[in-house]
Amino acid sequence: MRRSPYDTYLLLLFVGVLAVAPAVLPEFYVTLLNYIGLYSIVALGLVMLTGVGGLTSFGQAAFAGLGAYTSAVLTTVYGVSPWLTLPAGLLITSLVAVSLGLVTLRLSGHFLPLGTIAWGISLYYLFGNIDALGGHTGIAGIPPLQIGEVELRSGRDFFYLIWAVLLGTVLATRNLLDSREGRAIRALKGGSVMAEAMGVDTPRSKIVVFTVAALYAGVSGWLYAHLQRFVNPTPFSLTQGIEYLFMAVVGGVSHVWGAIVGAGLITVLKQSLQDWLPRLLGQSGNFEAIVFGLLMILVLHRARDGVWPMIDRLLPQRVLHGSFSGAEDLPRRPRPQAGSVLLEVHDGSKRFGGLVANDRVSFTVRAGEVMALIGPNGAGKSTMFNGISGVDPLSSGTVSFRGQRVESLPARDIARLGMSRTFQHVRLLPGMTVIENVAIGAHLRGGKGFVAAACRADRSEEARLLKEAARQIERCGLAEQMYESAGSLPLGKQRLVEIARALAADPCLLLLDEPAAGLRFLEKQALAELLRRLRDEGIGILLVEHDMDFVMGLADRVMVMEFGQKLASGLPEEVQRNPLVVEAYLGGVE
Ligand code: ADP
Ligand code: MG
């Protein structure tokens, strides 16, 4: 993770200032800080959900409502102790989040935000129209929280609790993002194709991050209910949901500190606008909404990343180097017998509407051989890769991998069996370091979940994963670039990062789609050397490549495709002599 070396000092400074704040500030500012704290907790969930995961939600206020109303009802009607209502509220929030998530997270593009608006409105009206929830008048008489003998009745008393919870969520969020689960969540934003091909269960990751964000909102709502000791539907409306998103966007939607900066700025701004605008305009009304609307447009045009990155840029940066040298090696899967059939494609066809991109293609790949797949652009090579790896399944035909039929399995299950791939159009997460990108490849070799990650109980496994990633990076000749962001590398090197990522999965079969494109002569030689070594270890390699010297010097067998069909196959020298091939392909090139 890239982080300022001052980050820890910032954290300490932050804690120090907050510790003295309530003692020196007037009541008004303490109240303001309380609200900023409560809003920050919700906005922090959005940083993870929207900023990091790329899933936009307008409905977080409704989740805060669930936390608040659960406590309001349980304490006032059933006399449950306020502390016990927290787990109850979180349970209800997560049940609702998981159910809503299962329905809405399948939606893509703008349908997802629209979906969140829909349930945001529904929950709001539910709060307002159920008599047992006090209708639009709400529920009063919620008891105060009590710590030991002390009742938290004043805003000043409450302050420490709110900001302690906020600090806890900040730390948990940072830990979570810097972990195996966190990488999976960060991979969602780049589209789920790559993540799935690396074995990430992306629907599950989406539900996880969605539920965590909802839980943050639920905690905030619970605190709110006991601070106000009164709830009604208004603070849990869609308007508030939009404001939460606005806070996260203004602050810097993919930064933990951005949530607090955004919540602070918007809360203070709203407060001052509500004071000044009516005086300025000589009449009362919610004029701040107009200013906020204009501001939103300005932010989206001028400072898409929000305010925090501007502050962050002023701070010196340092990349955190993980310490993993002492970690144990990850276990490796048993190698298949050299020469045994790994992959068998039989009559594989793929149709895109009227276009037949693969037309009844059959071939095998064995353990310990390099099988090259060549043919002119548009011949259907990448389509075949997608079919085999489950990224875009074939229309008909069968694919057996290690004796198991896989043509209808999702990509992540095929990856689990030991098939790993690279993409012709590189799919890296450009903002993440090389080692983090490669560690995504090792996703299936770890098992620690988000709870372990949030409380740092995953460190020894994480060290093993990072060590493995570092090993593969070194193997691919990228040791010097290990901590650079992947997006800053030249395209040829990015392809090598993709190979390292594929190798981090400890595959039996490696699919490489044009790995040598963009490499210099010496880099190509090093790559050929690496592939030979992998072959000698017993890995099967299916290789698409246009550089004929590279292919013919490396491949054990070659298959030629044209217009989706298999034109020829055999030993490299046989194929090179085949008149059909010479005419259709090699002839055209030479
Ligand atoms: P190659 O990798 O051999 O250059 P591709 O497999 O990428 O070729 O493409 C084979 C053919 O299938 C091309 O005509 C291409 O335009 C078409 N094609 C590939 N993907 C799609 C898609 N998702 N939708 C429609 N047509 C596609
Ligand atoms: Mg291709």
pLDDT in tens, 306-322: 888 888 788 776 666 76
The protein residue whose alpha carbon is closest to atom 7 in ligand 1 is: 382
Q: Given this model, what pLDDT does residue 310 score?
A: 82
Q: Which of 358, 355, 342 is nearest to 567 (CA)?
A: 358
Cα 69 to middle of ligand 1, angstroms: 53
Instruction: Check: CB of residue 427 under 8 Å from CB of residue 193.
Output: yes
- Of 351, 383, 544, the one to substitute when testing ligand 1's pocket (max ligand atoms within 8 A of C-beta) is 383
Share of the chain above pLDDT 70, in %: 97
Cα 380 to middle of ligand 2, angstroms: 7
- Of 350, 352, 559, the one to substitute when testing ligand 1's pocket (max ligand atoms within 8 A of C-beta) is 352
**Ligand index nearest the alpha carbon of residue 377:** 1
Ligand 1 atom closest to residue 383's alpha carbon, by position in its atom list: 6
pLDDT-derived band at 301, boundaries 50, 70, 90 = confident
Residue 590 predicted with pLDDT over 50 = no
Cα 109 to middle of ligand 1, angstroms: 24
Residue 441 predicted with pLDDT over 90 = yes
Mean pLDDT of the chain: 91
C-alpha dihedral over 150, 154, 157, 162, to 10 degrees? 120
The protein residue whose alpha carbon is closest to atom 25 in ligand 1 is: 352
**Ligand index nearest the alpha carbon of residue 422:** 2
Share of the chain above pLDDT 90, in %: 73
The protein residue whose alpha carbon is closest to atom 10 in ligand 1 is: 380
pLDDT tens readout for residues 487-518: 999 999 999 999 999 999 999 999 999 999 98
Cα 356 to middle of ligand 1, angstroms: 9
Cα 378 to middle of ligand 2, angstroms: 7
Mean pLDDT of 23-28: 90
Residue located via tokens 């979906």? 115
The protein residue whose alpha carbon is closest to atom 5 in ligand 1 is: 380
Mean pLDDT of 126-141: 92
The protein residue whose alpha carbon is closest to atom 21 in ligand 1 is: 352
Q: Which of 157, 561, 111 is nearest to 363 (CA)?
A: 561
pTM, full prediction? 0.91
Domains and CATH numbers, the chain: 6-237 (no CATH), 336-418+507-590 (3.40.50.300), 429-505 (no CATH)
Cα 417 to middle of ligand 1, angstroms: 26
Residue located via tokens 């002390």? 150
The tokens for 583 are 């005419």
Residue 454 predicted with pLDDT over 60 = yes
Ligand 1 atom closest to residue 424's alpha carbon, by position in its atom list: 2
Q: Given this model, what pLDDT does residue 313 score?
A: 80
The protein residue whose alpha carbon is closest to atom 20 in ligand 1 is: 383
Ligand 1 atom closest to residue 544's alpha carbon, by position in its atom list: 2
Q: CA 94 to CA 90: how far, in whole Å?
A: 6
Q: CA 554 to CA 548: how far, in whole Å?
A: 10
Residue 353 predicted with pLDDT over 90 = yes
Cα 518 to middle of ligand 1, angstroms: 21
Q: CA 495 to CA 293: how far, in whole Å?
A: 43
Ligand 1 atom closest to residue 350's alpha carbon, by position in its atom list: 12
pLDDT tens readout for residues 387-402: 999 999 999 999 999 9
**Ligand index nearest the alpha carbon of residue 357:** 1
Cα 194 to middle of ligand 1, angstroms: 18
Q: CA 160 to CA 148: how far, in whole Å?
A: 15
Bridge partner list, 560: 374, 568
Cα 546 to middle of ligand 2, angstroms: 10
Ligand 1 atom closest to residue 375's alpha carbon, by position in its atom list: 3
- Displacement of CA 393 from its chain's centroid (Å): 24
Using CB distances shorter than 6 Å, the residues near ligand 1 are 352, 355, 357, 375, 377-383
Residue 180 predicted with pLDDT over 60 = yes
**Ligand index nearest the alpha carbon of residue 423:** 2
The protein residue whose alpha carbon is closest to atom 17 in ligand 1 is: 357
All residues at 6 or more sequence positions from 528 whose CB lies less than 8 Å from its CB, including other chains? 550, 553, 554
**Ligand index nearest the alpha carbon of residue 424:** 2
With b for 16 or more beta-carbon neighbours within 10 A and e for fewer, the 181-217 pattern comes to bbbbbbbbbbebebbbbbbbbbbebbbbbbbbbbbbb
pLDDT tens readout for residues 504-554: 999 999 999 999 998 999 999 999 999 999 999 999 999 999 999 999 999
- Of 351, 355, 545, 546, the one to substitute when testing ligand 1's pocket (max ligand atoms within 8 A of C-beta) is 355
pLDDT tens readout for residues 71-114: 999 999 999 999 999 999 999 999 999 999 998 888 877 888 89
Cα 375 to middle of ligand 1, angstroms: 13
Q: Given this model, what pLDDT does residue 588 score?
A: 52
Residue 209 predicted with pLDDT over 50 = yes
Q: CA 328 to CA 121: how far, in whole Å?
A: 51
Cα 404 to middle of ligand 1, angstroms: 27
All residues at 6 or more sequence positions from 261 whose CB lies less than 8 Å from its CB, including other chains? 250, 251, 252, 306, 307, 308, 311
Mean pLDDT of 165-170: 94
**Ligand index nearest the alpha carbon of residue 374:** 1
**Ligand index nearest the alpha carbon of residue 515:** 2
Q: Given this model, what pLDDT does residue 107 score?
A: 81
pLDDT tens readout for residues 324-340: 888 899 999 998 998 99
Q: CA 575 to CA 590: how far, in whole Å?
A: 15
Ligand 1 atom closest to residue 358's alpha carbon, by position in its atom list: 10
Mean pLDDT of 362-379: 95
Cα 379 to middle of ligand 2, angstroms: 8
Mean pLDDT of 151-177: 91
Cα 150 to middle of ligand 1, angstroms: 69
Ligand 1 atom closest to residue 377's alpha carbon, by position in its atom list: 4
